Structure formats: structure tokens, C-alpha cells
């Protein structure tokens, strides 16, 4: 069994770690959420290097190419529902938001808003699959795995106004 390794990048939110399994990105974690992993050696595997570049682009104010989310979705074991939700969320542009119910409807499951919330809570690739852009139908933030403070910061960073 291969040992778990992670690569850490510095961001305005603190350190963010990318955990790697079998040479592929397995998840992104915020400071304080890191799994016990050995620090990765340079250079990182190509897929991880691409993810690091995407994160740096994001935190420099640039847009992350949607193909990055598509690639990451392919690396994880998901149900068809989870895949549909992740794909819809990946399509929400920076500075915009959608409610859990709207995402459920876009994913073809209009009565599954709560299930969308569960999928967002377990999103292994926050920021790239921008679960912070999914909010409650009343315009309030709702939960966020990294903390509501981080969700609010990310939406503000992207220029989202009034939650919508």
C-alpha cells in the first residue's frame, strides 16, 4: 500500500493541502483539516502539479478552467447523482451562486435539495468544484465544510453580492 502524501500551498486563507493517493489528487483540505500524511517530494505528480497551478490561478484572481473539475470528478468514486451535482456546481461561474434546490433541479432531481447539501458537504475538491457557490434558497450561506467564514470569504473574493 502506497503511503499518503500531501502537498501544501499558501493562500490568503492559510495553508491548503492537496492529499495524493496513487499519484492522483484525492482531496483538498483547509488548514486544520489535514489528514496525517507525509509531505510530498518535489516535483509533484503531473495531475497534482496542474491542481496546484489551478489553485494559484484562483487565488491570484483568475478563473480555473472547468476541465480541471471534470478531471477531478473522474478521479473519485461517485454515484451518478453525485457526479451530476458536481458537474452542475462546477458550472456556476465565479461571483454567482445557486441554491441547493436550483442545483438539484439542474442535476435532474428537483426534489433533492437536501441531498445536494449532503453532496456539497462531502465535496473532496472545494474551490475547484465550487461548493461555496451553493447557498440556501433564502440567500443565506448555509453550511460549508471549511467553515462559513471561509465560504463568506470566498464569495466576497469572487465579488458575489447579496448571496446571489
Same domain (yes/no): 114, 141: yes
Asked if the structure places residue 123 within a domain, the reply is yes
- pLDDT digits over 120-157, tens only? 999 999 999 999 999 999 999 988 876 889 999 999 99
- Would the pLDDT of 52 be above 90? yes
Assigned domain for 164 exists = no
Q: What is the pLDDT of residue 155?
A: 96
Identify whether residues 45 and 84 lie together within a single domain.
no
What is the rounded average pLDDT of the residues 86-113? 96
Domain limit, last residue, from 16, 35, 59: 59
Residue 65: per-residue pLDDT: 87
Asked whether residue 94 falls in the same domain as residue 17, the answer is no
Give domain status of residue 49, yes or no: yes
**Res 55 pLDDT > 60:** yes
Strand order in the sheet with 14-21: 24-30, 14-21, 5-11, 38-39
SS3 61: coil
Angle at 101 between CA 99 and CA 102, to 5 degrees: 65
Read off the pLDDT of each residue in 85-109 and give the average, rounded to a whole number: 96
- Same domain for 73 and 153, yes or no, is yes
pLDDT value of position 39: 67
How many domains does the chain divide into? 2
Considering the domain architecture, whether residues 83 and 135 belong to the same structural domain is answered as yes
Q: Contact 90/66 with Cβ under 8 angstroms?
A: yes
In a domain, residue 130? The reply is: yes
- 44 plus 106 within the same structural domain: no
| Residue 126 covered by a domain | yes
In a domain, 19, yes or no: yes
Residue 44 included in any domain? yes
The pLDDT score that the predictor gives to residue 147 is 85
User: What stretches of 79-124 adopt beta strand conformation (E)?
Assistant: 98-99
From 20, 41, 59, the end of a domain falls on 59
Q: Give yes or no: 37 in active site.
A: no
Query: 43, 59, 75: which is the final residue of a domain?
Result: 59
pLDDT tens, residue by residue, 5-36: 889 999 999 999 999 988 899 999 987 655 55
Query: Residue 112: is its pLDDT beyond 90?
Result: yes
Q: Which of 131, 134, 154, 155 is catalytic?
A: 131
Domain that holds residue 151: 66-158
Is there a single domain that holds both residue 48 and residue 80? no
Instruction: Answer whether residue 163 is part of any domain.
Output: no
Q: Is the pLDDT of residue 164 over 60?
A: no
Average pLDDT of every residue of the chain:
89
Question: Residue 111: what pLDDT?
Answer: 96
Q: pLDDT class for 68, splitting at 50, 70, 90?
A: very high
Question: Does one domain contain both 81 and 137?
Answer: yes
Work out the pLDDT band at 42, boundaries 50, 70, 90: confident
Residues 115 and 37 in one domain: no
Amino acid at each position: 500500500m502506497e503511503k499518503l502524501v500531501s502537498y501544501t500551498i499558501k493562500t490568503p486563507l492559510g495553508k491548503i493541502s492537496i492529499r495524493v493517493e496513487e499519484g492522483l489528487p484525492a482531496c483538498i483540505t483547509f488548514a486544520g483539516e489535514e489528514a496525517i500524511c507525509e509531505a510530498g517530494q518535489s516535483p509533484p505528480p503531473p495531475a497534482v502539479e496542474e491542481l496546484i497551478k489551478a489553485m494559484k490561478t484562483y487565488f491570484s484572481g483568475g478563473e480555473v478552467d472547468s476541465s480541471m473539475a471534470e478531471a477531478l470528478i473522474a478521479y473519485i468514486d461517485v454515484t451518478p447523482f453525485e457526479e451530476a451535482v458536481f458537474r452542475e456546481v462546477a458550472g456556476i461561474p465565479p461571483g454567482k451562486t445557486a441554491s441547493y434546490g436550483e442545483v438539484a433541479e439542474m442535476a435532474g432531481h428537483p426534489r433533492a435539495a437536501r441531498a445536494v447539501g449532503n453532496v456539497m458537504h462531502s465535496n473532496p475538491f472545494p474551490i475547484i468544484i465550487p461548493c461555496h457557490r451553493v447557498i440556501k434558497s433564502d440567500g443565506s450561506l448555509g453550511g460549508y465544510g471549511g467553515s462559513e467564514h471561509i465560504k463568506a470569504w470566498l464569495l466576497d473574493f469572487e465579488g458575489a453580492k447579496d448571496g446571489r
